[in-house]
Amino acid sequence: MNQEIYDLIILGAGSAGLSAGIYAGRAKLKTLIIDKNAPGGQILNTNEVVNYPGIISTNGPDLIASMKQQAINFNCEIIHEEIIDVVLNSQIKEIKTTDKTYQALSLIIATGAMPRKLNFPGEEEFTGRGIAYCATCDGQFFTDLDIFVVGGGFAACEEAMYLTRFGKSVTMIVREEDFTCAKTIGDKVRAHPKITVHFNSEVVSVEGDDFVHTLTYVDNQTKEKTVYTPKNNDAFGLFIFAGYLPATTLFTGKIELDAHGYVKTNEQLETNVEGVYAAGDLRIKELRQIVTAVSDGAIAATNCEHYLAKLKEEYPQYNVIEPKTQKKKESKNQSDLINQDLAKQLQAVFTKFKDAVTLELYLDDSDKSKELEDYMDNIADLSNKVMIEKRYESRSEMPVVKFKDHPISWHGIPAGHEFNPFILTMYYISTHQVPLEEAQKENIMKINHDVHIKVGVTLACHFCPDIVGNIEKMALVNPKIKVDVYDISLFSEFKKKYRLMSVPAVIFNDQDILFGSQSLDTLIEKTKEA
């Protein structure tokens, strides 16, 4: 029996996917969880969690970190790759990523949902110039400015309260006559001294130049319009939390979806395809909350376990070897950023390296330089295929880590969500394999002029790693493309120079700027035009 066939593959490492992994791993199923980003999904944007049973108060990142660790403790394998296709019309399911094809006897789809756009005039134009969709990613940009929040559900209310940390005022624009979340949350918002709420209201348009400077919204009952323009022509923030779109495009025509793209399941969370289950926000259901997502994951994994037991009775050849529990290996001089579990995962990646990768560190006497130095030293301690060269000097934009002999530099410390694309770039350099379609490689190689791409990110942004990873792939394929990634929370001058109010921000030759999540094909075309 081919040991590369898993009992279960879970697509998505949000709360539903990790919950499914915990239950599957505990049932001794050989389980693989795939997500192109770091685990978490929408929960990473949740600053305060107070309605999860048994936990008085926590935050999204901490809760998801605990879930991830539980899944790892039950021997789930978690990888970060982009899924490009699925084959579900046979007993053995195939999941194709940009790196390879994985096989499994069953599948749980937990890919979640993405923020919905409202498509009012100016929304697209001023995304990243005042309009944002992630308070955790972009809230800091609006410190001491007026902030507007569009939406009246749980996410909008929770984010409005979070944004009061930054804005001098927060105004909510709610289409309905009342909040659509739990009354306790709505009451908390009403009582907040920095929040004003306008019910029965909708955004008409936004206008501006470099940033939004005018917001027009209307009372949908009286039709009275309100035009807001800040004093002294200042900027302001407009955060949109108007629901989500299910991330199910990949499954169109392969499983049954409703007219809005949500997955249809029965009470056992089975789809219309045998051996394929769905869990979380992409499913048709009444309530989309963390507690219902983890419930979905548990139900899907338990019923999947029953399905596999019957399948293996009928086809004994499908009995795979149970995953072995790996002993933790200590890493010497580990920093706080490289814990034992992360060290174990890195060592597994480094065993696949072919050639050594050299990282050049440009350091000064700052605390951040010392932190970067310790961080990179700890990574190098895990493998003789990772080499470090250090240069101590005094210049702007320090500290920097550069991939030697490649036009890619990282300004700051590539931790948080940026850790995965950083390690993957090392892997691509070492193996001389960049996972791109042939047509994409050919298109990138057609760029015959020098292009300098700068990318502004924050470590809390879960949209940024995808952008950084794709642009670094482009630079590895075509040396005419130079890439500098900046953690703008450390480099305020960079943020001021390009007048950034959102991440990810991609700057081409110091001229054109592209904000937000973008496909690789879009990035290639923009680079060709630069």
Residues annotated catalytic, as ranges = 134, 137-138
Q: Is 209 exposed, middle or buried (0-12, 13-18, 19+ CB in 10 A)?
A: exposed
Strands 244-246 and 113-115: antiparallel
The token pair at 362 is 């440009």
Which strand (E) or helix (H) includes residue 443? helix 438-445
Query: How far apart are the C-alpha atoms of 449 and 447, rounded to whole Å?
Result: 6
Strands (E), 271-392: 276-278, 357-363, 386-392
CB 128 within 8 A of CB 461: no
The rounded distance, in Å, linking the Cα atoms of 243 and 514 is: 24
- Which residues lie below 8 Å from residue 499, measured CB to CB, with a gap of 6+? 129, 210, 211
Task: Give the contacts of 83 (CB within 8 A, at least 6 positions apart).
Answer: 11, 34, 36, 95, 96, 97, 250
Q: Within a 10 A sphere around the Cβ of 322, how many other Cβ atoms?
A: 11
Per the DSSP assignment, residues forming a β-bridge with 109 are 11, 278
What are the C-alpha distances in Å from 134 to residues 115, 160, 229, 235, 336?
A: 9, 11, 23, 18, 27
* Residue 117 CB burial class (10 angstroms; 0-12, 13-18, ≥19): middle
Spatial CB neighbours of 66, under 8 Å, sequence gap ≥ 6: none
Note whether 513 and 496 are within 8 A (CB).
Answer: no
Going 427 to 429 to 433 to 438, the CA torsion angle's sign is positive
d(CA 506, CA 464): 10
Residue 85 CA, chain-centre distance (Å), reads 19
- Could you say which DSSP state residue 310 is in? H
DSSP 222: T
Tell me the C-alpha distance between 401 and 487, whole Å: 12
Strand, coil or helix: 211: coil
Cross-strand pairs, 218: 202, 225
Q: Give the integer Cα–Cα distance in Å for 301 and 13.
A: 14
Distances (CA, A) of 442 to 297, 405, 427, 433, 526: 41, 22, 21, 15, 15
